[in-house]
Structure 1
Amino acid sequence: MGRISFFFLVLLFVAFTAAIYNTARFIAASDSTLGGGEEEFDFNPGGKKKLFHTVVTSSSGSYARWQCRIMYYWFKKFKDQPGSEMGGFTRILHSGAPDDLMDEIPTFVADPLPSGLDKGYIVLHRPWAFVQWLRNATIEEEYVVLLFFVLLENFGYLFRSYIFMAEPDHLITKPLPNLASRLRPAAFPFFYITPEKYEREVGKFFKGPVQAVDPVGNSPAIIHKAQLLRIAPTWHNLSIQMKQDPETDKAFGWVLEMYAYAIASAVHGVKHTLRKDFMIQPPWDTSLGDKYIIHYTYGCDYTLEGVLTYGKVGEWRFDKRSFTAGAPPRNLTLPPANVPGSVAMLVKMINQATADIPNWKAGE
């Protein structure tokens, strides 16, 4: 056996030491605050795309089904276009049983909460669905990068995976890049998520300063998997605890689960980059601008002259709640000429999707 040269041993020692240093640096940044550190060590070899996996939670009812089909249609339209860092897609179906969309939309079946625990608040199933998916699913964008440079550089195994949490009533309007970094998720700031206004309720579940709670929900948000793995169980547990607390339930109402996500993030020291350019919400936002998503949660009611009559059924209207029992028909009537462009674009995008999606049937 030949003798190993002293110079080779020195090279091996230097490389090994550098690897330990950088791996420790990576783990320390990942496992400490995961959102509060000053240094942004966001490794991205060769400027490769930071692909993220899009996830939508859904019940099995018709109302959620038709929205998911339209959402997935627009996801596919923009997935592979220039500027996109959109990877795979999963619909988490929290009914506990497969449905007939399994072959159309990639789907993970999660168990629902025990009967009665949601108290009629179906959104409470969302955090529990994410917990199950994170524990059991394989995320195709998760990859391992091996870096090896003999002397002046270093090597180490770095894992990367990002998750985009979306909703069935989101329409993606253009290629979506990864707006997050490893330490800072990106999320939309909601005007109605106001932790400071509910300091008493927040203080029951988070002992830090109320200013540490971001005005966000879980969606839309792009987040590193390592962060969501920590947040999701807390988000789930807090949602249940908050729903069972009458004072908190009354204060937070239909956005209780959003507050639970925001508080859970604060519990784990995660701060979000607030991106107002993430989405618009017609009819209040009248133009798309440079936004990435149309969120059609509000009803759009107008006179034939294009005057908004919010709170009163208009002569022309589009409201997703008009189709709770089944899908809307193809070729919805377009809004009057003076209605804002955001509303017109919303209806046109729905019409295009329903025209192209095979076997689209009104009422199903």
Structure 2
Amino acid sequence: ADADADATASLVEQGLMEEDEFGSHHALGLGASRGTEDDDDDVDPSLYDEEEEDECHESPNTEYWGELSKGVLANGNANRADTARACCESCKKNDVVCNAWVWDPSSKACWLKKTTTYQPPAYDPAKITFTSGALHPTQPRYAAIAKSKRDREDPPFCLHTMITSNGQPYMNWQTRVFHQTWREASQTRGSPLRHFTRVLHRTKDDELVNEIHTVRIDPTHPECDRGCDYAVKDRARAIAEWTKLPDARRCSHVLMAETDYLFVRSPPPGVLLEKGHSYGFLFGYIIPWHADAMPASREFTQFMQREGTWRKGLKIEDVPQSGNAPQVMHVDDLAKVAPTWADLVEFGEDNAVIKKVFGWVRDMYAFDFALASVGIEVHYPPVPFNKLMVQPPADVRLGAASFMHYTWSPILSDKTGATRWRFDKRQFQGAAGSSPDFVALEEQPLPPRWDPKAGYKLQAGEVVTEEGLALMTMMAEAFNGGVRALPGKFPEGYDSLADVANARTT
């Protein structure tokens, strides 16, 4: 204990850790800005070369599914357009009943459609000759408050990236790599990325507190320190507690992220929206009103009605198809949403129906119900127009995205059936990435080069295109770049496996 106290005192003296008014110590690791002159200044969006969004969202070799619009010339054979842009304009003129369009460049047919969910369009350069698009709801950008007019409580216009962790080795090696890719992206001219915080829901510090700015919150479920049946059950409550701290108000907006993300560029300032609006990601498997989901959705709504958090007139169809990450929202909105989210997560952990029906995404559903209860409108343009995330190999184009989620674990084989490449984060544990204690990270092999004769396929039989292979290669290169950028083989402040193991057990 004396050795730990001496180490903490040394870190405070070096400026790598600070003590708050309650006597708690918080790491000020790499990427944390402390006492710099521009901490209170707004990000200047004009410095970022952000393209103006095209409301037509034109995408070649795609087709949007949806019902044909009613009451307009929806049938493409009766509604000709010389160009894709003209087809889009036809949809815009009938925007009450049209929000998606499909144009055939050969026949000039223009189909007008109405879709209730903005799922990514079907995309296949080899088979689809159509060009299509969708008219997404307008995203109201946040108007930064001038520094001279801000109250003391008003944070500066910028984006604070926040992740959560229970400190398990499996999450910690992911965190180290993600943090390095964030650091590089944050150096982009005009980037809104300014601060990075790891919210650690754990009973004691772990080996990363010297390397990454960390705020530790005592968990509701301390048994999760050593692993539990649902590792994120403390996440919502920890975020709710974090929003009460000054650390949460270092920027106007928070990007809630996951440890298994990889930045490939900075998100544009345009993802910072007005209060009452958030910029998220549409998950096709989150459908609160689906017949299979309804038993659990009713459990949530009945609980919220008893608690008085279900707004009058709110319908299950109003619950968004998103999740807590990735999500960009004003810190004041997050402070409103998080307590209800945390209550729903705790309720779900004691509810057999919710655990069975919603499974491992039950805290994502809980977040969506909390968003609806507060009245936050989520904007989530589909890939390739989403400015936050893609998930290779499910997505084959980077599009407008800023980071990748490497959760789908592609396994690439050729026409002979031989495995040519795999990228499975779950196999990194105990191998190149981690172990029950800690193993230094290593770079991972890249996919093979494109060969049109190789017949590349994924594990479920999906044909791999040259474009899709290029995106998977970019993902692996981003991971390796993060590994190379690490400050050392071991986390900051440690020189051996024994040191790391000791930090986790004492």
TM-score range, shorter chain: 0.7 to 0.9
Distance 1:336 1:113, change over 3 A: same
- SS across alignment from 2:358: helix
- Root-mean-square deviation (CA, aligned residues, Å) is 2.9
Distance 1:336 1:183, change over 3 A: same
* Distance in 2, Cα, partners of 1:173 & 1:347: 11
Residue 203 (structure 1) shift = 2.6
Distance 1:329 1:162, change over 3 A: closer
**Amino acid in structure 2 at the alignment position of 1:346:** M
Match of 2:471 in 1: 342
Structure 1: segments with no counterpart, 5+ residues: 1-37, 143-160
| 1:136 maps to which of 221, 229, 245 | 245
Match of 1:185 in 2: 278
Match of 1:292 in 2: 402
Distance 1:314 1:252, change over 3 A: farther
- SS across alignment from 1:196: coil
Match of 1:8 in 2: none
Distance 1:304 1:356, change over 3 A: farther
- SS across alignment from 1:316: strand
Q: TM-score, normalised by structure 1?
A: 0.76
* Distance in 2, Cα, partners of 1:87 & 1:195: 34
- SS across alignment from 2:243: helix
Match of 2:263 in 1: 172
Match of 2:444 in 1: 332
Match of 1:98 in 2: 205
Q: Which moved more, 1:196-205 or 1:273-282?
A: 196-205
* Distance in 2, Cα, partners of 1:109 & 1:134: 13
Q: Which gives a bigger RCO, structure 1 or 2 (Cα 8 Å, sep 6+)?
A: 1
| 2:315 maps to which of 209, 222, 242 | 209
Q: TM-score, normalised by structure 2?
A: 0.56
CA offsets per residue over residues 39-61 of structure 1, 9 Å max, x none?
96944256998302110101212
* Distance in 1, Cα, partners of 2:171 & 2:228: 19
**Amino acid in structure 1 at the alignment position of 2:449:** A
* Distance in 2, Cα, partners of 1:91 & 1:39: 28
Which structure has the highest helix share of the two? 1
* Distance in 1, Cα, partners of 2:192 & 2:365: 28
Q: Equivalent pairs: percent with the same residue?
A: 28
Match of 1:242 in 2: 348
How does 1:65-104 map onto structure 2 within 5 Å? 65-104=172-211
**Amino acid in structure 1 at the alignment position of 2:278:** P
Match of 2:412 in 1: 302
Is it true that 1:44 corresponds to 2:144 in the alignment?
yes
Q: Quick check: 1:73–1:353 contact (8 Å CA) kept in 2? A: yes
* Distance in 1, Cα, partners of 2:395 & 2:407: 12
Structure 2: segments with no counterpart, 5+ residues: 1-137, 149-155, 302-309, 451-463, 491-495, 501-506
* Distance in 1, Cα, partners of 2:472 & 2:147: 37
* Distance in 2, Cα, partners of 1:251 & 1:343: 32
Q: Number of aligned residue pairs: give it.
A: 304
- SS across alignment from 2:289: helix
Q: Quick check: 1:83–1:175 contact (8 Å CA) kept in 2? A: no
- SS across alignment from 2:401: coil
Match of 2:367 in 1: 261
- SS across alignment from 1:294: strand
Q: Quick check: 1:304–1:316 contact (8 Å CA) kept in 2? A: no
